[in-house]
Chain A
Amino acid sequence: MTTTAVAPVSAEASAAPVKNYLKQTTTIRSWLLTLDHKRIGVMYLIISLLAFFIGGMLAEVIRTQLLTPSGLIFHGGGAAYRQYNQVFTLHGIIMVFMVLVPMTPAAIGNFTLPLLLGAKDVAFPRLNLFSFYLYVSGAVLAILSTVLGAVDTGWTFYAPYSIDSNSYVVLMVAGIFLLGFSSIFTGLNFIVTIHKLRPRGMTWFRMPLFLWATYATSIIQVAATPVIGVTLLLLIVERVMGIGIFNSALGGDPVLFQHFFWFYSHPAVYIMILPAMGIVSEIITTFSHKTIFGYRFIAMSSLAIALIGFVVWGHHLFVNGQSAELDAIFSFLTFLVAIPSAVKVFNWLATMYKGAIDLKTPMLYALSFIVLFTIGGFTGVVLGALSTDVVLHDTYFVVAHFHYVMFGGAIIAFLGGLHYWWPKMTGRMYSEPWGKFACGLLFIAFNLTFFPQLVVGAHGMPRRYATYLPEYQSYMVVSTIGAYLQLIAFLTMAGYLLHSLFRGAKAPENPWGGTTLEWTTSSPPPTENFLGTPEVDVPYDYSLVEYDPAIGSYIRKEPVPFAEQAH
């Protein structure tokens, strides 16, 4: 195992080969009770990928249903349509609470955060394991409620649906309550880690941008999630005890539920997208082999998005009887979010300008992200405008908008991050041609699926119905074909990633030429992350790495002594 000059090792340590974190111990028990952030990250990854698979199959069911105007699977009225409601509700709940919220922060974040920071672990490893098990128990409760009587309220649990529904709302909501606390503890852990565990030399403005994004995300997780916690608690108490807070028959106010819900759930959108933006920042600078443009602007725009994200929730209630003054304020604040988002996009483009761009799979995902997120962002501005929102509210335009942001943004960037850090996580390389093929297919399939939905939405097709008017059918068929192609892309991905896991070439220390600290340790890293204390320098200095064809990896150059630089 090679070591770099950056991580000096004593003679005894290099004599005995260090076991990596995957092989350190092999029993199942050592995995289930591990306190190692990398193993916890991998376990999060496995479970959230399973959830993603289930959520994705539900999406395929929805798309198949919508092939014909009267519905291909659920037709004939009442009970069948209720099943359709259950399917799209579960799709939403799984994708939002079990995939998007934990996937990037908890899975990728847990694995990479201490590595990028140069720390040995997160600040509270036991709390970290506890939040993983909160996540698992939340998922178990959700599965249980689905088996007993799947929820049909829509993922938003709006009162009075959630009060009147005769499905297992309480179990599902209790599950999401636990998922929420898992998210709070992860965020809390990350904030403390970033504040207190930075090694010598790692100042705030030397942190890799993914850490800035994670930091902003964690602030939202800690500050917004308790509110959904109490809201869900109120909903449980409402159903179990009939407390009447959201029940207008007992003097309560159902719209208050919507305010509470979106006070969390809008910032939650930024829990999903901010770490995704962090991943994209890392990928773009690495594969352009050029220093990031506007480091401080990207770092601060993450915080700006996090803070503005707290005061825009009212744009979900434009047509729900909110006063015109509030509508106008919320609309204005919503437009403000576009500014820091655009700052990021321009800085990424400027980073690529005159860079030595290497179109590897992660970079392709990053480029897809820029295109798709920009479409998602612009359609968001359209929806944030009052006059257009009144028309487009609850149409497929909204569905397409948030899929462009959540899927085209968060999931695509997650996949980029997965491919980017895959060699570090598993110690194996994946097939580059297949990776590029899957990414290209996914990009095309994604647009085939959701662009027609923007159009039918603008034509006025309402969301959440099991049937639709015949004139929309051609759009819906194209959309469904896109969804099937996506399935093929994902199955391809699963195929070559699994192949890589068992048969892939051994990954070198630094396959991409990254400059952040995780590339200075072995792939996969040892349990203690770094053999020795990592030396931290200004990030993204690509003059410090060069490709060594002999080992097929980038290596760290010895820094040029100051005396020579002067001449």
Chain B
Amino acid sequence: MSEAVSVFGQEEIARKHLAHHFDTPQQQFDSGKLGMWLFLATEFLLFSGLFCAYSVYRALNPEIFRYASQYLDAQSGLINTLVLLTSGFTMALAVRSAQTGRKAVLIVSLLLTMAGGFTFLAIHAYEYAEKYREGLLWGTLYNPKLQEAQPDQAAIAKPVKVNLNAGWKPLNLMAQSGYAVSHSNIAPAAIGPAGVAPAQRPQFGTSTAPMPQPANVQLFFGIYFLMTGLHSIHVIVGIILMTWLLIRTIKNDFGPAYYAPVDFVGLYWGVVDMVWMFLFPLLYLIR
């Protein structure tokens, strides 16, 4: 044990937190951990319904997903991915410093993790606002303002310089770096089975033909808002939990003998990260 850790009083702390129906602190910790893993399994299952809906509708209407996913801002998505990954690191640091009893590091890393959560939500809110402005919403609210923004359909395929304030633009990383924007013009599946693409399939980045808008594009945005919305709610819950941890840390509740809540919130935050690791490619990257 490092010198920074005061072993004095750890025994009492462990006893103070021991509930009457457990024999040892270890048994209590193991029970809590198993319970937390089971709870996280139910979280995955909660999302699994949405992943299932995504798969079903993607299989039924591949053209909707190819067409609509290009309107998601992969750059914001990437930044958010990095933000969440970093906050996952700071959360792990928080758990470690709770175990080793370094209170200052614990407080700082909790604050950094919360900052990560807030940054993620802010970028997401910006994305939502963009989608709202462009009318790229779900169900009957889907009312794309693409025509006004770009009278010429073919312009979609032109290289576009990023200008976040200039109405709707198909933003993605390729556009950002000045390359030609690639838009798949694979015909809807109704014409032929997926995979049997025409021989004159255009090379990546060379397509100039506009992609016709398929029917029921709103379905994609419905799924997009559902999945990212449910995920964002989980981020908010995570931030609330970290506030609670912060208060308890300041009250000197945690140390090498008792750090279960930090550990469990760490696991929860890991799941929040992991769900996003699936959402980002499925929604933003796969065309």
Q: Which are the 6 A-B pairs with shortest beta-carbon distances? A: A251-B216, A230-B49, A226-B45, A120-B21, A242-B139, A244-B139
Q: How many Å from the CB of B266 to the closest CB on chain A?
A: 19
User: Which of B22, B32, B46 sits near A229, CB closer than 8 Å?
Assistant: B46
A245: chain B residues within 8 A (beta carbon) = 53, 219, 222-223, 226
Q: Does B218 contact A (CB under 8 A)?
A: yes
| Residues 171-221 (chain A) with a chain B CB within 8 angstroms | 184, 188-189, 191-193, 195-197
Q: How many Å from the CB of B111 to the closest CB on chain A?
A: 28
Compute how far the CA of A244 lies from the CA of B64 in the bound complex, rounded to whole angstroms: 14
> Given A121-B21, A251-B218, A226 and B35 touching (CB < 8 A)?
no
Q: How many Å from the CB of B124 to the closest CB on chain A?
A: 18
CB-based nearest A residue for B47: A230
CB of A125 within 8 A of CB of B219, answer: no
User: Which of A125, A223, A253 sits near B45, CB closer than 8 Å?
Assistant: A223
Q: Does B190 contact A (CB under 8 A)?
A: no
| Residues 240-263 (chain A) with a chain B CB within 8 angstroms | 241-245, 247, 250-253, 256, 260
Q: Does B38 contact A (CB under 8 A)?
A: yes
CB of A237 within 8 A of CB of B226, answer: yes
| Given A223-B42, A243-B138, A243-B222; 5 other pairs, CB 8 A cutoff | A120-B21, A195-B31, A227-B46, A241-B139, A260-B52
Q: Does B177 contact A (CB under 8 A)?
A: no
CB of B46 within 8 A of CB of A123, answer: no
Compute how far the CA of A520 lies from the CA of B56 in the bound complex, rounded to whole angstroms: 55
> Given A242-B139, A245-B53, A245-B226, A230 and B216 touching (CB < 8 A)?
no
Compute how far the CA of A250 lies from the CA of B222 in the bound complex, rounded to whole angstroms: 10
CB-based nearest A residue for B52: A260
Q: List 16 A-B contacts (CB under 8 A).
A: A119-B21, A124-B32, A124-B35, A184-B42, A189-B35, A191-B34, A191-B38, A192-B34, A226-B42, A226-B48, A227-B49, A229-B49, A245-B223, A252-B219, A253-B56, A260-B52
Compute how far the CA of A234 lies from the CA of B42 in the bound complex, rounded to whole angstroms: 17
CB of A230 within 8 A of CB of B50, answer: yes
> Given A188-B35, A189-B35, A227 and B218 touching (CB < 8 A)?
no
A196: chain B residues within 8 A (beta carbon) = 27, 30-31, 34
CB of A192 within 8 A of CB of B38, answer: yes
CB of B138 within 8 A of CB of A242, answer: yes
Q: Does B109 contact A (CB under 8 A)?
A: no
| Residues 13-60 (chain B) with a chain A CB within 8 angstroms | 19-22, 27, 30-32, 34-35, 38-39, 41-43, 45-50, 52-53, 56-57, 60
CB of A192 within 8 A of CB of B222, answer: no
CB of B21 within 8 A of CB of A244, answer: no
Q: Does B147 contact A (CB under 8 A)?
A: no
CB of B42 within 8 A of CB of A242, answer: no
Number of interface residues of A (CB under 8 A): 40
Q: Does B61 contact A (CB under 8 A)?
A: yes
CB of A244 within 8 A of CB of B222, answer: yes
Q: How many Å from the CB of A218 to the closest CB on chain B?
A: 9
Compute how far the CA of A120 lies from the CA of B22 in the bound complex, rounded to whole angstroms: 8
A193: chain B residues within 8 A (beta carbon) = 31
Q: Does A89 contact B (CB under 8 A)?
A: no
Q: Does A231 contact B (CB under 8 A)?
A: yes
* Interface set of A (CB-CB < 8 Å, partner B): 119-121, 123-125, 127, 184, 188-189, 191-193, 195-197, 222-223, 225-227, 229-231, 233-234, 237, 241-245, 247, 250-253, 256, 260, 528
> Given A227-B48, A230-B47, A251-B219, A243 and B35 touching (CB < 8 A)?
no
Size bracket of the B interface: 35 or more
CB-based nearest A residue for B34: A192
B30: chain A residues within 8 A (beta carbon) = 196
B139: chain A residues within 8 A (beta carbon) = 241-244, 247, 250
Compute how far the CA of A253 lies from the CA of B56 in the bound complex, rounded to whole angstroms: 10
Q: How many Å from the CB of B110 to the closest CB on chain A?
A: 23
CB-based nearest B residue for A124: B35
A191: chain B residues within 8 A (beta carbon) = 34, 38
Compute how far the CA of A189 lies from the CA of B35 in the bound complex, rounded to whole angstroms: 7
CB of A197 within 8 A of CB of B21, answer: yes
Q: How many Å from the CB of A118 to the closest CB on chain B?
A: 12
Q: How many Å from the CB of B20 to the closest CB on chain A?
A: 7
| Residues 127-173 (chain B) with a chain A CB within 8 angstroms | 138-141
Q: Does B225 contact A (CB under 8 A)?
A: yes
CB of A250 within 8 A of CB of B140, answer: yes
B223: chain A residues within 8 A (beta carbon) = 245
Q: How many Å from the CB of B221 to the closest CB on chain A?
A: 9
CB of B45 within 8 A of CB of A241, answer: no
B215: chain A residues within 8 A (beta carbon) = 251
CB-based nearest B residue for A120: B21
Q: How many Å from the CB of B105 to the closest CB on chain A?
A: 30
Q: How many Å from the CB of A277 to the closest CB on chain B?
A: 23
B53: chain A residues within 8 A (beta carbon) = 234, 245, 256
CB of B138 within 8 A of CB of A222, answer: no
Q: How many Å from the CB of B258 to the closest CB on chain A?
A: 17
User: Which of B35, B48, B52, B218 sits near A244, CB closer than 8 Å?
Assistant: B218
Q: How many Å from the CB of B30 to the closest CB on chain A?
A: 6
Q: How many Å from the CB of A202 to the closest CB on chain B?
A: 13
Compute how far the CA of A567 lies from the CA of B75 in the bound complex, rounded to whole angstroms: 84
User: Which of B22, B39, B56, B141 sits near A242, CB closer than 8 Å?
Assistant: B141
A227: chain B residues within 8 A (beta carbon) = 45-46, 48-49
A241: chain B residues within 8 A (beta carbon) = 138-139, 141
Q: How many Å from the CB of B264 to the closest CB on chain A?
A: 12
Compute how far the CA of A260 lies from the CA of B53 in the bound complex, rounded to whole angstroms: 9
B52: chain A residues within 8 A (beta carbon) = 260
CB-based nearest A residue for B27: A196
CB of A234 within 8 A of CB of B226, answer: yes
CB of A125 within 8 A of CB of B21, answer: yes
A125: chain B residues within 8 A (beta carbon) = 19, 21
| Residues 49-79 (chain B) with a chain A CB within 8 angstroms | 49-50, 52-53, 56-57, 60-61, 64
CB of B35 within 8 A of CB of A223, answer: no
B48: chain A residues within 8 A (beta carbon) = 226-227, 230
Q: How many Å from the CB of A24 to the closest CB on chain B?
A: 14
CB of A243 within 8 A of CB of B49, answer: no
CB-based nearest B residue for A229: B46
CB of B38 within 8 A of CB of A222, answer: yes
A229: chain B residues within 8 A (beta carbon) = 46, 49
A197: chain B residues within 8 A (beta carbon) = 21-22, 27, 31
Q: How many Å from the CB of B246 to the closest CB on chain A?
A: 21
A192: chain B residues within 8 A (beta carbon) = 31, 34-35, 38
A234: chain B residues within 8 A (beta carbon) = 49, 53, 226
Compute how far the CA of A195 lies from the CA of B31 in the bound complex, rounded to whole angstroms: 8
